[in-house]
Amino acid sequence: MRKGNLQHPSNGYKIIVVDDEEGIIDSLSIFLKRSGYEFTGVTDPMEAIEKVKNEHFDLMLLDFIMTPIHGDQVVEEIRKFNKELYILLLTGHKDLAPPLETIRRLDIQGYCEKSDKFDQLLLLVESGIKAISQMNVIKDMNNKLQDTYEQLERAYMESIQTLRYTVEAKDSYTRGHSDRVSEFSVLIGKYLGLSEEEIKTLRIGGLFHDIGKIGVPDSILLKEGKLTDDEYSEIKNHPTIGAHILSTATIFQDIIPIVKHHHEKYDGFGYPGKLKGEEIPYFARIAAVADTFDAMTSKRTYRDALPLDVVISEITRCKGTQFDPKIADVFLDILEHHYEEVKEIQERYK
């Protein structure tokens, strides 16, 4: 058998070499295949960008001076859609290498001068592959941890949902109320320009804000007449009970302030902490507006839903006393200019 036909076992790593000189491509092809790498050679830098976009490569060897675009421009385009590709830049002379600032900005892992001998380049490639291997191990561990976390989060969510449905089963008013408070809170959050993660916290916090009612006696929760002072005191315990229910689950730490403080008032006369102004957690101030709006616009055993103009007047009147004035103004603007979004939520969770 001729020596040139020997098959070298693949180590599973794919390298793409981009150089407009066919001779360099051919030499590196022999050299890298002999070292066990899967090799792809490209002479057109524009074609290389498309290949990286559509195929997986672990490492790129990239010539700096090429036409129609230079290597740093190739990296600029690749980094728009691929932040992970390990890139080594090849230069004809060290004086022709791009500035260090460019190398850092584009996250180019290193550069090497071209030479007839490839020993130094092989060392850089091997070093890069070791780094890639470690990154893959860490990524795999993170994925497994994320899967475990998501399974745990689902289990907790299902457990708390069961408690929420238990509350709703015995209190007809609560049924749909938590969903609407959740959606109204999210709507306010969007118009406040909050991030997706913050919106998620508002959504879950709204769903579970009344979870503590599971600890309120049915005789009080379902009473149709006026509550006595003692009975009202029992009702006022539900935020603290809810916070306690959620306190043992790490995944609910972000929503506990909503659950515990959605009945605080901006002037300090709310409960349970009598917090005032910005002492009240921000998300709880948002939920307070959403919660009160839904309470006023929902039919209760002792009254019909209030007309929208009355609700607007009441929210306006309570700015700075019950509600954070800035949040109240945002919601009043929604009611005036985007009321169709509010109606859609009300229709969805009748």
Q: Distance (Å, rounded) from C-alpha 173 to C-alpha 219?
A: 15
103: helix, coil or strand? Answer: helix
3 state SS of 88 = strand
Q: Would you name the residues annotated as active-site residues?
A: 213
Query: Would the CATH topology of 11-140 be identical to that of 171-348?
Result: no
Q: Give CA–CA dist 130/344, Å, rounded.
A: 54
- Amino acid at site 168: E
Task: Considering the domain delimited by 11-140, tell me its CATH architecture.
Answer: 3-Layer(aba) Sandwich (3.40)
Bridging pattern class, strands 14-18 and 38-42: parallel
Helix (H) / strand (E) element for 344: namely: helix 339-348
For the chain, give every domain's residue range: 11-140, 171-348
List all residues 6 or more positions away from 189 whose beta carbon is below 8 Å from its beta carbon: 198, 199, 202, 286
Kindly give the confidence (pLDDT) of every residue in the chain, 350 residues in length, as a single tens digit, with 9 standing for 90 and above: 334 445 567 788 999 999 999 999 999 999 899 989 999 999 999 999 999 999 999 999 999 888 899 999 999 999 999 998 999 988 876 666 677 888 888 888 888 888 777 888 888 899 889 988 888 887 888 788 788 878 877 887 787 777 777 777 766 666 789 999 999 999 999 999 999 999 999 999 999 899 888 888 878 877 777 888 888 888 899 999 889 988 877 778 999 999 999 999 999 999 999 999 999 999 999 999 999 999 999 887 667 889 999 999 999 999 999 999 999 999 999 999 999 999 999 999 88
What is the rounded distance in angstroms from the CA atom of residue 309 to the CA atom of residue 335?
Answer: 10
Q: Looking at this protein, which amino acid is placed at residue 107? A: D
Which residue in the block uniquely carries the two structure tokens 């290949």? 51
CATH 1.10.3210.10 assigned to domain 171-348? The reply is yes
The whole-number pLDDT of residue 2 equals 39
Task: Please state the pTM of the whole predicted model.
Answer: 0.59
| Partner residues linked to 300 by β-bridges | 303
